[in-house]
Amino acid sequence: MTGSARNFLEFHDIPEAGLRSIITRAGELAKAWEGRAMPQSLAGKRVALIVDDGGWRNTTAFDLGIQAMGGICVHVPIGFDAREETGDLSGYLGNWFDMLVIRTKELSTLKAVAAASPVPVINARTSSNHPCETLGDLAYINSRRGSIDGLKVVGVAADANILRSWAEASIALPIEVVQVFPERWHISGAALLNRHFRVGTDMGELLDADIVITDSWPHDVAGGALAGYRIGTDLLDRLREGAIFLPCPPVRRGEEVTAEAMEHPLCRSRAAKAFLLHAQNALMEWVIA
């Protein structure tokens, strides 16, 4: 954690006990959402939502969740590559807001904001990581399985923000994460390497996986070179009973997955993404406490 504020910049910023409480709380908030009985735990709280890098899914969920829990959400139209210094912007925002939710390209920018901010900062996505997405998936998995302990998560994906957040999760939680992809795209950063994370090229790793995730293929390679890493129904049919397939949106059918794979019973992408809202709501409660 950065300073005294409860920031969420990288998944492992929050200790295991805090993550477990957030994941459990997400399940409770999911039931409250269905019953249209959301707790007003953000009543009187003013939250700045800054989108400096496009996207819509998790920022829309933040906006909706803040309002549903009684808070005030303001879309702040600023960028961090403009004329004002990042530290100055953090100070000005801290005059008015109780929490900053920021989606921007560079994790380093987010860290600079947090270092200067008098209020908590939440990472709504960077090009380096996407911890809220992983938190939402884990909350969904917990709701289905009753536990996240001992999960084997296989990511058929290049070194990119989704997979990196799962590697971050393996630092903080008792889960095993395996990257399966050609060596050229393996994660190699020392900060993410740990005893619960490993890399390889063997698609056989999927056969005893509890969770299989994907991400969009790299743009700098001919599709045929990655055909062996495409997820189809033939492979999903061979996964262990109870496995969950979570292709990461936006899904490019015919590349990382086949169109048929998206209709397979093990594909739970839509249901899992519903928990993005609930997990982010639980996170904001925890951060602001």
| pLDDT tens for each residue of 153-168 | 999 999 999 999 999 9
Residue with tokens 């992809």: 181
The average pLDDT across 169-175 equals 98
Per the rule left: phi > 0, alpha: psi between -120 and 50, beta: everything else, 220 is alpha
* Architecture of the 11-130+274-288 domain: 3-Layer(aba) Sandwich (3.40)
Nearest to 102 by CA among 82, 77, 85: 77
The yes-or-no answer to whether 11-130+274-288 and 133-270 have a common fold is yes
Residue with tokens 């409860």: 6
pLDDT score of 54: 80
Of 216 and 8, more confident: 8
Give the predicted TM-score (pTM) of the model: 0.95
pLDDT score of 5: 66
- Rounded CA separation 105/51 (Å): 10
Helices and strands: H and E segment counts in the chain? 8, 9
Amino acid identity, position 253: R
Q: Is the pLDDT of residue 1 over 50?
A: no
Exposed/middle/buried for residue 107 (C-beta within 10 Å: 0-12, 13-18, 19+): middle
17-31, 70-84, 143-157, 203-217: the lowest-pLDDT one = 70-84
pLDDT score of 126: 96
Asked if residues 136 and 65 have their Cβ atoms less than 8 Å apart, the reply is no
Superfamily of domain 133-270: Aspartate/ornithine carbamoyltransferase (3.40.50.1370)
Domain boundaries, the chain: 11-130+274-288, 133-270
pLDDT score of 2: 42
